[in-house]
Amino acid sequence: MTTSAREVAVAGDTPYTIHIGPSLLDDGALLARSVRGRDAMLVSDAHVAPLYADRVTAALQAARPDLRIHRHVLPPGEAAKTLAHFAEVTTALADARMRRDATLFALGGGVIGDLAGFAAACWMRGIDCVQLPTTLLAMVDSSVGGKTAVDLPQGKNLVGAFHPPRAVIADTGALRTLPARELRAGLAEVVKYGALGDADFLDWLDDHADALLAMGDAALAEAIARSCAHKAAIVARDPFEHGERALLNLGHTFGHAIETEQGYGGLNHGEAVAVGMVLAARLSEALGLAPAADTQRLRDLLVRLQLPVSVPAGLDPERLLAHMRLDKKAVAGGLRFIVWRGAGRAEVLSDVPESSVLSVLQEA
């Protein structure tokens, strides 16, 4: 492995390591380290596969000449994260005669990580999955923690399973081919970690905003490592989201509602989370929990990172509220939101009045 790589350990009942650094997709020894059997399936999408699938296959084959490597390529985008494409992947696993000691490599962004991870969780009641995230958003969020899922027309990530990976291998070189919009979407999730539990990290992000937008290697590596360390610590303490892990959903209840209402064809996930965090901060203000100055600070940072901070025009607040009632974070007693008492001090709040939520949406 390259000497400039960083490692973040994820503790818990199924510990694993997050590897972060350049050229890791060419490190056959590292890629093969998690393969227990003689079969592997590489799942990717039509945008990412032409860029990296041959490299990963060649690196694996060089390290493990005996390995049988199959490949399945899906359409790109959130619209592919469906039960139909999940069935497609499991059928490919069946056709390839993948056994219980097989390894599935999820090569791509959050959609591939979620969908392929869910297939790995279900095939023969669970086979090994190695996450190979190629977007910043996937590197700092969706590839870490073992949450896998697909979407339904009624809502995002409603069908899924907890399935921790055997390893996460984040090749920062892949970010060089990332469209600027996707880089910014990942930065929204990076900001989230500062907003929910580390106000000093928000200061660091503000100081390094230009370097991050310019894809500076040192700044990106630091942001990824710090974000992963934050998430790893929370996941280790609460692997199945019974308590503290819910804080990682800051901005997501609002964001998922926007994504669902737009049919997953408007704002991307990171952009929706950016808007959602601002709305969550405004809700916290409206409930008398947090000062307006912290909302403005968060909003200003997101604007500096060229992210949206307002609900897209034309979306009906009542319909957004209806989506939130079906959100996984809702509970029997009513709506549950991640709010904050100021920068770096997030908490879970249940029984949030719908009138307060609707008021925030109407003013956004």
So which residues are the catalytic ones? 125, 147, 189, 231, 241, 245, 249, 252, 256, 269
Closest CA to 102 of 27, 34, 170, 164: 34
Cβ proximity of 251 and 311 under 8 Å: no
Whose tokens are 């909302």? That residue is: 295
What number of residues does the chain have? 364
The answer for residues whose C-beta is within 8 angstroms of residue 192's C-beta and 6 or more apart is 141, 248, 250, 251, 273, 277
Angstrom distance (rounded) from CA 76 to CA 178: 14
Retrieve residue 9's tokens.
């350990």
Cβ proximity of 193 and 226 under 8 Å: yes
Concatenating the DSSP letter of every residue in 159-185 gives: EEEE---SEEEEEGGGGGGS-HHHHHH
Strand partners, 68: 39
Angstrom distance (rounded) from CA 108 to CA 55: 13
Question: Within 10 A of 291 (CB to CB), how many other CB atoms are there?
Answer: 14
